Amino acid sequence: FQSVGLQTHGVAALTLSHGDTFYISVMATNGVGMSAVASSEQILVHTRRPLFSVFHVRHSRSNTTSQVWSSSADLDVWWEMEEDSLRSSAAFPPPTIWMSIGSVHGQDDVQTQQQLDFEPPIPFPRLEEGRFVVSIIAEDILRRMDYRFISIVIDASPPSAGVLTINREGKRVNVAVTTQVFHLEWSGFDDAETGIETYLVGLGTAASQSDIVELVDVGAVQSYDLHGPFPQGRYFLSVVARNGAGLSASASVSVTIDATPPVPAQVREVLQDRPTNDIDCVDTSGTVHIAWDAFVDEESGMARYEVAVVCMDEGSTQPCGEVRFDHVGLGPVSYTHLTLPTKRLV
């Protein structure tokens, strides 16, 4: 015992380690030399502050963790403390946990700080779209603390739709093509909450499908060359924009792959009032009436016809002048005011 006179308090220098226990005893002696002793309860030496080993927001059913979610439904907050066997004793209970949610770090304007009186997981509140900071504090009976926070984004809306175009030799096309390489360009996709994380490109038999060429993740670029070979037919090229929450928007454009020319049909020089009769002679009135049966192209159909009137000397197979084709739409066509000498083949 160390004498402290008549003081009711004292200071002692101790050399103790984490996990040690000790007692404090006080002896009081009266004027005739008689003494009495009183002792404290057991005191535990604990030198470590509480520390979180795990802290995250997770999906309550799958236990997956993320900082970006498409909805706050089915989310919970989970944490674990670093192992400390002494905290299970009656002398040193587990720390008190406090949680708050704010729109920015350091605030609790979304959910004010509250003490959590039960073990994790803690159901996450239902929140609309936005960015949030979830903060958590562990405080032990010695007022020592550990503080953690995590930023999350709730993005419940898909990206805004964009536009997809097929470019060939610098020109935009969405009609029949013979190429086996499609140069795709897209623009207009946007997402204010989580941004566009990646684009995917595919080819299918219907809009937004990819049953011919499976979706290819092309990253953050806004153009891509999709290589064949592709079978002939009508298809849809699609681009899918995916945001950080996994929601997506798509754009499609139809394209016809046509690598074969039209099947030709009969061409006739006819009388104007009898367009189905084929004639072999015409006078030199300067009028030529031309008709033809429809050419056939199952893939892309007819876009236009071009017609040329060619003169040849009798007995020759070579044209006697320049061969010039004229665009005539979908016909039939009449040529007038021609100068056709006698016995000249056309």
pLDDT digits 0-9 by tens, 17-40: 888 889 999 999 998 999 999 999
Higher per-residue pLDDT: 229 or 314: 229
Judge whether residue 216 has pLDDT over 90: yes
pTM (2 decimals)?
0.63
Q: What rounded mean pLDDT belongs to the chain?
A: 85
Model confidence at 158: pLDDT above 90 = yes
Q: Is a pLDDT exceeding 90 seen at residue 329? A: no
Dist CA 265 CA 268 (whole Å): 10
pLDDT beyond 70 at 110: yes
Q: What is the mean pLDDT of residues 116-127?
A: 90
Amino acid (1-letter code) at residue 190: D
Quote the CA–CA distance of 19 and 47 in Å, as a whole number.
Answer: 8
Sign of CA dihedral 275, 277, 282, 283: negative
The region, left, alpha or beta by phi > 0 then psi within -120 to 50, assigned to residue 170 is: left
Q: For the segment 276-322, what is each residue's pLDDT rounded down to a tens digit?
A: 666 666 665 566 777 788 888 887 788 888 888 777 777 777 776 66
Type of residue numbered 333 = V
Average pLDDT over residues 157-162: 94
CB-CB contact of 211 with 204 (8 Å): yes
CA distance 294 to 16: 104
7 pLDDT above the threshold of 70: yes
Going by pLDDT thresholds of 50, 70 and 90, the confidence category of residue 337 is very low
Lowest model confidence (mean pLDDT) among 88-92, 163-167, 239-243? 88-92
